[in-house]
Structure 1
Amino acid sequence: MRHFKNFMILVMTLTALTLTSCSSSDDSGDGGGSGGGAGSGVLVAKVNGNSYQSMAISSTATVANNGQSLIIIASNSSGKAFSFTVLDFNGEGTYPIGGGANIANSASYTVTDVDLNNPQNSTTEIWQAPYDDTEVGEIVVTSVTDSKVKGTFNFTCKNVGGDQSLKTITNGSFNLDKQVVN
């Protein structure tokens, strides 16, 4: 059993290294024109200056409520994820995050640290925006087709349930497969 556990840790480590070190021509930064620097199927950003890229298998844009809501979820193999909710979605355009009536548009950045030795000790921290009544950023949808949603974003978010720290998200862009749910 001990050898099996060591083998599984080795496999998971190699898998994580492989997933985080892979590159493709889609990562060239051109994003296919409109939509910023994200390659097809992923979301990219700078989190306090550090690069982030989601995995295509765990990243999607969902148009819901008869086309009136946009929900974006994108995560990577390191336990880091972004989520966005845009209410009153009208296709291409700029959607403020926060600022009075625009408080319904929201964004978050989540970090989950998994303790492989004791999964019950795993932690999740969430930095959310907006965190007060001011405008803290925006999501710009630059292209919506039958199969893709592309755009850019930036915002400041706060760990309101934890240490109250702020994270600045810059140079964000997405080029995600689109799902429609009514």
Structure 2
Amino acid sequence: MRHLKQMMLFVMVGSLLTITSCSKSDDGGGGGSAASGTLTANVGGASFQSMEISSKATLANAGGISNLIIIASNSDGNAFAITISGYTGEGTYDITGASIGGVVGSYTETNVNLSNPTASTTEIWQAPYDDTKVGTISVSEETATNVIGTFSFKCKNVNGDGSVKNITDGSFNLSKQTI
């Protein structure tokens, strides 16, 4: 559990440090199909569903800029981290590296070696990874206690083998905290 907490902190800090660009339309799209408290997605053909206990949306204000941070993990040690810096509410935000701004997404896989924990590995796929638009995040509903939306993006293992994962059918229905 300690390793999972450290990994989630690493993903969140990494996402915040790699802020790239953001554009927003007023259409937040449909709400998706995730059950309350979870994030679901198709990761390169494999289903992902987070656990409610390890999934949360946080709305944070830093220096007058609102940031929506979504962290969600499952029992296999896999996790999503999505950050919208410059968040202004319901709408669709592009993930693109074309300019400085603030929408990033990442997917992490942690393989724990139980017989030798120091030999455990973590791979992180990041978006954006170049100057093109690689996806979108849509927030369709935000209340005082909840955030609902959808997402899809392509992400690249920039520090590993260079592989690209296609994230499709992403959906979240998360409790929200404001700090």
Could you tell me which residue of structure 1 aligns to residue 56 of structure 2?
Answer: 60
Report how far residue 99 of structure 1 moved.
Answer: 4.0
Equivalent residues in 2 for 1:38-53, closer than 5 Å: 38-53=34-49
Unmatched 5+ stretches in structure 2: 1-29
Equivalent residues in 2 for 1:31-180, closer than 5 Å: 34-65=30-61, 68-101=66-99, 104-180=102-178
Whole-Å Cα distance in 2 between the matches of residues 67 and 104 of structure 1?
10
SS of alignment partner, residue 120 of structure 1: helix
| Contact 1:103/1:130, CA 8 A, preserved across alignment | no
Greater C-alpha radius of gyration: 1
Unmatched 5+ stretches in structure 1: 1-33
Report how far residue 104 of structure 1 moved.
Answer: 2.2
| Contact 2:67/2:87, CA 8 A, preserved across alignment | yes
CA change 1:93–1:102 in 2 (3 A) is farther
| Contact 2:97/2:129, CA 8 A, preserved across alignment | no
Whole-Å Cα distance in 1 between the matches of residues 100 and 74 of structure 2?
28
Whole-Å Cα distance in 2 between the matches of residues 176 and 137 of structure 1?
20
Could you tell me which residue of structure 2 aligns to residue 20 of structure 1?
Answer: none
SS of alignment partner, residue 99 of structure 2: helix
Higher strand share: 2
| Contact 2:149/2:171, CA 8 A, preserved across alignment | yes
Aligned alpha-carbon RMSD (Å): 1.2
Letter in 2 for 1:75: S
Whole-Å Cα distance in 2 between the matches of residues 107 and 134 of structure 1?
14
| Contact 1:96/1:102, CA 8 A, preserved across alignment | no
Percent sequence identity over aligned pairs = 59
Whole-Å Cα distance in 1 between the matches of residues 106 and 92 of structure 2?
18
Report how far residue 96 of structure 1 moved.
Answer: 0.5
Whole-Å Cα distance in 1 between the matches of residues 101 and 156 of structure 2?
15
Report how far residue 154 of structure 1 moved.
Answer: 0.1
TM-score, length basis structure 2: 0.80
Higher helix share: 1
Whole-Å Cα distance in 2 between the matches of residues 164 and 69 of structure 1?
28
CA change 1:175–1:67 in 2 (3 A) is farther
Letter in 1 for 2:32: G
Q: Which moved more, 1:60-69 or 1:108-117?
A: 60-69
TM-score, length basis structure 1: 0.79
| Contact 2:85/2:101, CA 8 A, preserved across alignment | no
Whole-Å Cα distance in 1 between the matches of residues 132 and 104 of structure 2?
12
